Amino acid sequence: MKGPHPLLLVAAALVLAFLLAPMLAVVVLSFAPTEVLHLPPRGLSLRWYRDFLTNDRWVLATRNSLVVGTAVMVLATLLGSMAALGLHLGRFRGRGVILALLTLPMVTPFIVTAASMFFAFSLVGLASTLPGLVLGHVVVAVPFVVISVLASLSTFDDGLLRAAASLGAPPWMAWQRVLLPRIWPGIAAGAVFAFATSLDEFVITLFLAGPGQFTLPRQMYANVREYMTPTILAASSLLFLASFLFLLATEALRKR
Amino acid sequence: MKRILAALAGLLLAATPALAQRELTIVAGGGTLQDHMRRTLFESFTRATGIPVRDTAYDYNVGPIRAMVQARNVTWDVVLVEAPDLIRGCEDGVFERIDWSVVDRSKFLPGGAITCGAGAIGWGIAVFRDLNRNPTGPSDWQEFWDVQRFPGRRTLRRGARMTLEIALMGDGVPAAEVYKVLATQAGQQRAFAALDRIRPHLHFWTGGQQPIELVNSGEVAFAAGFVGRTANAIRSGARLDLNWDTLLYSYDYWAVVRGSPNTANAMRLVDHITNPEPLRALAAAWPINPVTAAVANDAAIRAANPLMMSNHQDRGLQIDTEFWLDQGTDLEQRFASWLNR
Amino acid sequence: MLARPKLLAAALLAPLMLLLAGAFLLPVAVTLATAVTDREVTSSLPRTAALLRAWDGKELPPEPAFAAMAEELAAALEERRIGEVSQRLNFERTGMRALLLRTARAGPRLSAPYAASLPALDPAWADPATWKLIRRAAGPVTSLYLLRALDFTRTPDGEVQAVAPDQAVFRTLFLRTLWVSLQVTLACVLLGWPVAAAIAALRPPWSSAALFMVLLPFWSSVLVRSTAWFALLQREGPVNQALVFLGLLDAPIQLVGTRAAVLLATAHVLLPVAILPMAGVMMRLDPRHAQAAASLGAGPWLRFRRILLPLSLPGVLAGAAMTFLLAVGFYITPALVGGERDQLVAWFIAQFLNRDVNWGMAAALSVYLLLMAGAVAALLRLFTGRGLASAP
């Protein structure tokens, strides 16, 4: 059969250009030497990156983001991988309901999730605390882990586990020696997704972060509202670069 | 299920390292002003008392403070708050009553010492324009409303508070009678009708830097913006005319968060940072509008800072916080409704 | 290890289920409860509330209710918990805060009979409407917030009526949210369809490359992309410069703060969300259908209309539903690039939560937003026979 219709390709290319152009423009603009933004830029400078790296507020926000992201990654990967294994092993009747429950946080309007967590967490003293923020991020990050691990489990041959068992291997050994080596790329990709989700999350952070607990997106928002400096563009570009690396990592893991 | 949540909470809380006897935490609006406050106010307190002070910034959202107090997990001691939030928070027990035996009550300007707050800095909004683009401009709110004589777009802050007072003055109500008129149904209708009259010429800003940017880019001819920011722009070379006769002002207050384990030291901190000496140092570094009388009326400081609000406060209208606490919910909703139309 | 797989599966699933129950389902339930709970009067003025509940609701309540009111208001002021109840009542009727505070301050000076001394202090206490209002607010449940969130209110006698036209905000707001979300969804589906079809039709590595170009913005932060638009759309920003340079504009115009900017930026942010489900469905389509049609002489347009379009419809619906669900709750993008007439429901939720500290209104608006999202999910299920969970 012939390839796709040229018209389709042209349309797709135009839309893809529209998708990527703003981000690329921001990356280019982040190297601007002046506060007024010109395209193409009139010269190059690392001024705004230097500002980002030396300004206490941005450094603190970066540190906060990394702390929260790491905690979210560990918790979400652990809980999500276990749950995916459970879903894979048990072909029980409530499976559909559980899957639906897992995906609910993805389809509930974020503002509602965030407001709800604020209400409930204030009742038990979790609102405006670091553990509360981590919990909130885990809820929206964990579906990605489950989906990623489930996908890698779907290509795993359960016969291997049975074979290991019939050879007398205790279950934990069969898991460790047979199952884990096969599905770890899925788990690792899930971990990357979880970290990326937390790093980019904004609305839940806005409500759950303690006053003064600024993460990168929150710091960016605070700055944009007040006074637009190109430092924000430098921060955006760095976050964009991070997403790019995450995506490369998950693609590499997927191919394993 | 609630128990599960509580158990989970306990688990996570146990996992975070227990905070030992912590230093005092003071919270303000951030930015350059707070950098100067650290150098002149907070660090001099540590020098005088040996008590370490950590400062952090917030965005004036009181929701999280309430959550903190409700959760009995108070990590802030002293915070800079706006008057309405202070009074509401005081009635709700979010803020401690100021201990006037520690903080000297007599040093403040009128209205600077209230139950839960010690006056920190004044702020206000007033009309300004770009002198290059508009050599002449409205001298009062009535002229601001005169779009024939002074054509061009105008920008006001989005929200009913201040805008409705301004609308009445634009319609000819003398400043002294604004709140009396605005308390009546007829007066409220009059304010909205006045806004309707110049609606096509009106724009509403939200972020404090926007009025300056709008005037700089020529997008609006006349803007009502925060006087501190306008004064800063003038000091850094902008050719702006700031009209003090259109001033509306209020104070921000230092408040002590209720349930702070450091209440006694927090009161000492509040007293220190409202004392004349540290404030003089702050005023020398950065143009602020002190609420401490000795500094606000200091002839030397006044002369050194002609653009300081304290110099012009007597020409302005003080925003009636109590009025807005009583009528604000209704008026803000009606303003939102008006904006929608 | 497979001896008790069900038990093992349950044990593996339990921690996450507990987390989701505790940190997601329960909070949503709390929100529903917050929207209909009325506890301020009962918790601040318990005795008055009990006496008013026993009152027949005609004329004025008995003397003990007056006395309890005077005492409890004074105590609430002294113990600093009068704010909540005065805000709650003031929200329903302007002037109640002033009335309560004045009465509380005068409390210690008032003397029996309170049925006379309270009205002497403020004639509002002689108005049965005041007492009816307080009685109705004595909970435990209220429809006030749910009604107000749709611009309805109650008369003193409890009848539901629309608020005055100059107070109406929220119906316009919901309609605007719906309208903006629909426009964005439509734009995303129309723009996204060719990309999804191309991803499905291209061969590797081109298909992977195209997919990568969709995933990259999908994984970069919504805030980063909204900020990008905010920067690009400035009056002296690159988009204006380009338009002037191309001769399309004589002078830069205001872009930030317009509805067009909101639509543009929101559609851009949500486009990958629309593309991915569509591409997922189209990639699974059997290319032999199209081949068979082509061999029967069907031209590209006919093949598109009769085969590709109908077969990709489940993907289109799933993509549209996901886009719409995210759009109705959008907060950052309109807040950054929108003007005063472009804010959606989410902005008001945030405002009520963080600024106004009116949790009942924030919760009520959330409830309606949830209902809107639930209706969309249900519609999708109705049309495709599948839920969102099965969408890729």
pLDDT digits (tens, 9 = 90+) for C282-301: 888 777 776 777 777 777 77
Is A97 within a domain? no
Q: Which of A12-21, B79-88, C381-390 has the lowest mean pLDDT?
A: C381-390
**Extended strands (E) in C96-237:** 152-154, 160-162
Residue C246 CA neighbour count, 13 Å, CB half: 7
Tell me where in chain B the CATH 3.40.190.10 domain(s) lie.
2-122+251-309, 124-249+314-339
**Extended strands (E) in chain C:** 152-154, 160-162
Tell me, yes or no, if B60 comes closer than 8 A to chain A by beta carbon: no
Cα–Cα distance, C372 to C327 (Å, whole number)? 11
pLDDT grade for C387, boundaries at 50, 70 and 90: low
Tell me, yes or no, if B323 comes closer than 8 A to chain A by beta carbon: no
C235 → closest Cβ in B1, B219, B332: B219
pLDDT, residue B21, reads 44
Range A172-199 average pLDDT: 85
pLDDT grade for A69, boundaries at 50, 70 and 90: very high
pLDDT higher than threshold 90 for residue C111: no
pLDDT higher than threshold 80 for residue C267: yes
Share of chain C above pLDDT 70, in %: 96
Six-digit token string for C225? 């992309």
pLDDT, residue B213, reads 83
AA letter at B270:
V
Contacts of C17 in chain B (CB under 8 A): none
A116 → closest Cβ in C28, C234, C272: C28
Interface list for B 61-90 with A (CB within 8 A): 61, 63-68, 70-73, 75-76
Is A251 within a domain? yes
Q: Flag if C332 and A221 touch (Cβ within 8 Å).
A: yes
Interface list for B 192-251 with C (CB within 8 A): 192, 204, 217, 219
Is A39 within a domain? no
pLDDT higher than threshold 50 for residue C389: no
pLDDT grade for C255, boundaries at 50, 70 and 90: confident
CATH number where A162 lies: 1.10.3720.10
C241 CB neighbour count, 10 Å cutoff: 19
Q: What is the per-residue pLDDT across C268-278, written as a single tens digit (0 to 9) for each? A: 999 999 999 88
pLDDT, residue B17, reads 36
Q: Flag if C169 and B90 touch (Cβ within 8 Å).
A: no
Tell me, yes or no, if A75 comes closer than 8 A to chain B by beta carbon: no
pLDDT grade for C183, boundaries at 50, 70 and 90: very high
Q: Which residues of A36-62 are buried (b: 16+ CB within 10 A; e: fewer)?
A: ebebebeeeeebbbeebeeeebbebbb
- Find tokens 């790019």 and name the residue: A244
Contacts of A227 in chain B (CB under 8 A): 207, 209
Cα–Cα distance, B203 to B225 (Å, whole number)? 12
CA C256 to chain A, closest CA, distance in angstroms equals: 12
Q: Give CA separation, C307 vs C197, C281, C282, C317, in Å.
A: 12, 13, 11, 16
What number of residues does chain C have? 392
**How would you classify the pairing of strands C160-162 and C152-154?**
antiparallel
Cα–Cα distance, C125 to C131 (Å, whole number)? 7
Could you tell me which CATH number the domain at B2-122+251-309 has?
3.40.190.10
Tell me, yes or no, if A135 comes closer than 8 A to chain B by beta carbon: yes
B338 → closest Cβ in C77, C98, C166: C166
Let me know if B245 is exposed, middle or buried by CB neighbors in 10 A (0-12, 13-18, 19+).
middle
Q: Flag if C22 and B88 touch (Cβ within 8 Å).
A: no
Q: Flag if B61 and C354 touch (Cβ within 8 Å).
A: yes
Q: Give CA separation, C160 vs A81, B334, C144, C154, C366, in Å.
A: 51, 19, 10, 5, 21
Six-digit token string for C351? 């405002």
Architecture of the domain delimited by B124-249+314-339: 3-Layer(aba) Sandwich (3.40)
Q: Number of residue pairs across B and C with CB atoms under 8 Å? A: 87
Is A107 within a domain? no
Provide the domain count of chain A: 1
Is A33 within a domain? no
DSSP string, B262-285: THHHHHHHHHHHTSHHHHHHHHHH
Q: Which residues of chain B have pLDDT under 70?
A: 1-22
Q: In the beta sheet, which residues pair with residue B249?
A: B124, B318
Q: Which of A31-40, B49-58, C47-56, C249-258 has the lowest mean pLDDT?
A: A31-40
Q: Which of A122-136, A224-238, B326-340, C140-154 has the lowest mean pLDDT?
A: A224-238
Say what the pTM is.
Answer: 0.87
pLDDT, residue B31, reads 76
- Contact yes or no for C174/C368 (Cβ under 8 A): yes
Domain membership of residue A196 as a residue range: 52-89+119-256
Six-digit token string for B125? 């909004």
pLDDT higher than threshold 90 for residue A122: no
Q: Where are the domains of chain C?
A: 40-142, 170-390
Q: Flag if A20 and C217 touch (Cβ within 8 Å).
A: yes
Cα–Cα distance, A82 to A88 (Å, whole number)? 10
What mean pLDDT value characterizes chain C?
87
Tell me, yes or no, if B48 comes closer than 8 A to chain A by beta carbon: no
Architecture of the domain delimited by C170-390: Orthogonal Bundle (1.10)
pLDDT higher than threshold 90 for residue C139: no
